[in-house]
Amino acid sequence: MILKYLNVKFKVYCPNLKQDSRIIRHHAFCICFLNLVRLRKYTFHIRLLWPLLALLLLCQSCVVQELDNTPYTQTDYYHKTVANLNALPAANQLGDTLKAGWAKVNITPPVGTPLAGYGKRCGMKYTTVHDSVWVRTFAFDNGSSQAYFVSLDMLIAPMSVAEVLEQEYKKAGIKPEQVYLAATHTHSSFGGWGKKLAGRIMAGKYKQQVVRQTARYIIQSIKMAQADLQIAKVGFGTANGAAFVMNRLTNSETNRDTTIRFLKFEKRTGEQAILCTFSAHPTILPSMEPILSGDYPNVLVHQLEQEVDFAAFSAGAVGSHSSVYSHGDSFESTEAVGKGLAAAILSAAAKTETAYTFKLQHNRIPLYLPEPHWRLGEHKRFAPGLFYTFFGRYDAYINRLQLGNTVLLGVPADYSGEFMPKLQAKAAQENKAVVVTGFNGSYLGYIIPDEHYSLKKYEARAMNFYGPTAGSYLTHLLLILLSK
């Protein structure tokens, strides 16, 4: 999106260069920098940038490199990650009947905090709260293991928040691998958490107070859920959400994930809770209105809570999948989608059987990656150093949480719903059910099927950060985890 804009504007900065110049084609990043200085939120003295521009033009290898098409199975990063997977301990066969608890905490920052989700907002602050945003947490305990599922009404579980949490976990006596982070992926929640330039474009000016307060609220919700633990039955169910999702990358009617997946919990006291996921992007609301909202997921959970005691939602395999709605970019549409999904879930949940179980397992596996492949044309990429300067460099993980025979897999990406049939088939072979969620404390961009890498689409170009086989690589790892 940024590069498309810059190609139109390049003559403003380089009027004496021809449009088909190799220098222009290979150094769009330089132009990107010069355009960014025009943004009100990122004003620098332009004379300080000319030496940098000259240096980059002279050192092409520092700016542009060839794409690396090495098969991932022949790489060091693949072998290191698989070695970690193979070293995972066997499932603990000890434990008592599973206990579950749940809690939610309002995490809405003050009016005037930036919104997160669209770069064209340029750090726009919200002036109105349409509906508050929350952290919703489940705690699980079988006597020998404890784990926590945390869903944030945010674009992602931000890297800056995850960094603060690593310290907060120690204070609370929690191991990082016990916590499974997720997000609803609403594009109308708060920002203020991005440290690098790309994060500030997408989420506004960094605010340390917002980051630390969000981390404290997460810890508070974990402790509240711990205090709520009681013996509970668990059941897995699905519902049909085909009317509410489309594949925006290919417009295919068949290659889309239309399944609503949910876990149903029933305590001995009669209290019930539902944890659900779906693959449609929560991008219904207008991008340029300064209004805070959880989009359709907030409507969904509030509607579920008319019938059950507690509900939480997490974005599923949303990569390349958009919401379908008929009332325009409006709150009327979020109401229709949220209520429609809730009705489908409640109907299926009424027929979903639950049972006691002792199975509880949690893992957090380091995810080793290739060098970034932020693309420039068909066969080129920006140099990794430039990518890290713009986006930052963060550790990445895959989370695995097993409750009974249901396996939840958390990934740090917009992971495409087109991969779900392959994962479901593997899960069925293992007599398991599988749920995939995204945005678990890091971010790798869009993970799409390899065959779509050549498409001239946003998901395949601007937001595909790790090369032509990133989809096959990550899916291969998830398949291994399903057999553990």
From residue 75, how far is each of 80, 115, 245, 350 by CA, in Å?
9, 39, 36, 48
Backbone φ and ψ of 158, nearest 5°: -65, 150
Backbone φ and ψ of 31, nearest 5°: -65, -35
- 178 assigned to some structural domain: yes
Structure tokens at 410: 């958390």
- 379 annotated ligand-binding residue: no
Burial readout 431-465 (b: 16 or more C-beta within 10 A, e: otherwise): ebbbbbbbbbbbbbbbbbbeebbeeebebbbbbbb
Q: Is residue 215 located within the same domain as residue 362? A: yes
Distance CA 292, CA 126 (A): 6
Q: Which residues pair with 278 in a beta bridge?
A: 315
Q: Which residues pair with 176 in a beta bridge?
A: none
pLDDT at 377: 83
- 216 assigned to some structural domain: yes
Q: Is residue 54 located within the same domain as residue 81? A: no
- 464 assigned to some structural domain: yes
User: Which residues of the chain fall short of a pLDDT of 70?
Assistant: 1-62, 92-93
Last residue of a domain, one of 12, 39, 62: 62
Q: Is residue 43 located within the same domain as residue 80? A: no
Distance CA 462, CA 465 (A): 8
Q: Is residue 36 located within the same domain as residue 143? A: no
> What's CA 455's distance to the chain center, in Å?
22
pLDDT at 53: 56
- 281 annotated ligand-binding residue: yes
pLDDT at 378: 84
Q: Is residue 58 located within the same domain as residue 99? A: no
For the chain, give the number of residues.
Answer: 484
- 11 assigned to some structural domain: yes
Residue located via tokens 């740090």 = 412
How many CB atoms are closer than 10 A to CB 371?
Answer: 16
Q: Is residue 271 located within the same domain as residue 359? A: yes
How many CB atoms are closer than 10 A to CB 58?
Answer: 9
Q: Is residue 214 located within the same domain as residue 288? A: yes
Distance CA 148, CA 169 (A): 12
DSSP secondary structure letter of residue 462: T
Q: Is residue 78 located within the same domain as residue 132? A: yes
Q: Which helix (H) or strand (E) holds 311?
A: strand 310-315
- 6 assigned to some structural domain: yes
DSSP secondary structure letter of residue 108: P
Between helices 470-482 and 420-429, what is the axis angle to 10°?
20
Which residue type occupies 64?
A: V
- 67 assigned to some structural domain: no
From residue 392, how far is each of 159, 179, 276 by CA, in Å?
10, 23, 31
Distance CA 264, CA 100 (A): 11
Distance CA 475, CA 460 (A): 17
pLDDT at 244: 98
Domain count, the chain: 2
Q: Is residue 135 located within the same domain as residue 270? A: yes
Whole-prediction pTM: 0.89
Distance CA 473, CA 471 (A): 5
- 42 assigned to some structural domain: yes
pLDDT at 63: 82
pLDDT at 338: 98
Angle at 101 between CA 265 and CA 295, to 5 degrees: 75
pLDDT 10s digits, 113-162: 999 999 999 889 999 999 999 999 999 999 999 999 999 999 999 999 99
Which residue type occupies 17?
A: L
pLDDT at 160: 98
Residue located via tokens 């395949």 = 460
Mapped onto helix, strand or coil, the DSSP state of residue 262 is strand
Q: Is residue 58 located within the same domain as residue 82? A: no
Structure tokens at 39: 């943004």
Q: Is residue 43 located within the same domain as residue 127? A: no
Strands (E), 404-468: 406-410, 414-415, 433-437, 446-447
Instruction: Please give, one letter per residue, the 3-state secondary structure of 218-268.
Output: HHHHHHHHHHCCEEEEEEEEEEECHHHEEECCCCCCCCCCCEEEEEEEEEC
Which residue type occupies 8?
A: V
Give one DSSP letter per residue of 198-225, joined into a string: HHHHHH-S--HHHHHHHHHHHHHHHHHH
Select from 123, 98, 109 the least CA-distant residue to 43: 123
Q: Is residue 52 located within the same domain as residue 80? A: no
Q: What is the domain extent for residue 21?
A: 2-62
Angle at 314 between CA 312 and CA 320, to 5 degrees: 155
Distance CA 125, CA 482 (A): 42
Last residue of a domain, one of 62, 92, 111: 62
Mapped onto helix, strand or coil, the DSSP state of residue 351 is coil
- 455 assigned to some structural domain: yes
Last residue of a domain, one of 40, 62, 84: 62
From residue 203, how far is each of 111, 114, 115, 118, 291 by CA, in Å?
15, 6, 6, 8, 14
Cα atoms in the Cβ-side hemisphere of radius 13 Å centred on 113:
24
